[in-house]
Chains A and B, each alone.
Chain A
């Protein structure tokens, strides 16, 4: 079951530069997408979300872009900070549904 895919297991970025994390999905019924951040020994923490009626949502340094025709979304972090180093999970759900499908995660390293 690979409905949500994060093809890059890791990403290394210099502090102050942009981090771009990518996610693809296969289920066209998904209409709500989220990014979670996870530190070791902690549960996932919600970061930002986007509904399928939008193509962009911004919250401070974090912006999520959604391309429905390509079934692709991305998370941009600008500027990246060392504290952003974590595993980032892309997730998706269906309106009125009861489950969220997660990708495999991308480990982000932000170097000082």
Chain B
């Protein structure tokens, strides 16, 4: 079965540094998402992306965050100047259609900000 893959599995970064998290969605999917889960808390929606633009974003997704689909396969989340509170698991997901379909999730990237 096709999978969403995320790299790296664990990223350690100094506070204030930029970080890029990478995702390869399922190839025939058109909608892409980023979520985060702070340790012990719920999975929180960050942003959705379709047709090369942001469809919807949460209040968490401020100016420090950006997303990009630089080529036909990758979908990236960039945090420009990381803060301690950005430490979390970041999950990428994709669907063929809108959110009214089960989303396929990657196994996540654990981001640790020192």
Q: What is the interface of chain A, defined by CB distance below 8 A to chain B?
A: 31-32, 34, 36, 41-46, 49, 89, 93-105
Contact = CB atoms under 8 A, between A and B. Distances in A.
Contacts of B55: 98
B58 A99 contact: yes
B4 A98 contact: no
Contacts of A36: 105
B41 A98 contact: no
B80 to A, nearest CB: 22
Contacts, number: 64
A94 B108 CA distance: 25
Interface residues of A, dominant DSSP: loop
26 contacts: A31-B100, A32-B99, A32-B100, A36-B105, A42-B108, A43-B91, A43-B107, A44-B43, A45-B105, A89-B43, A93-B99, A96-B100, A97-B98, A97-B99, A98-B33, A98-B50, A98-B98, A98-B99, A99-B56, A99-B58, A99-B99, A100-B33, A100-B99, A101-B45, A102-B43, A104-B41
Interface residues of B, number: 26
A32 to B, nearest CB: 5
A44 B106 CA distance: 8
A84 to B, nearest CB: 18
B101 to A, nearest CB: 9
B18 interface: no
B100 A93 contact: yes
Contacts of B42: 89, 102-105
A31 B100 CA distance: 9
Interface string B38-50: 0001111100101
Contact of A43 (B4, B41, B102): B4
A105 to B, nearest CB: 6
Contact of A44 (B31, B41, B48, B91): B91
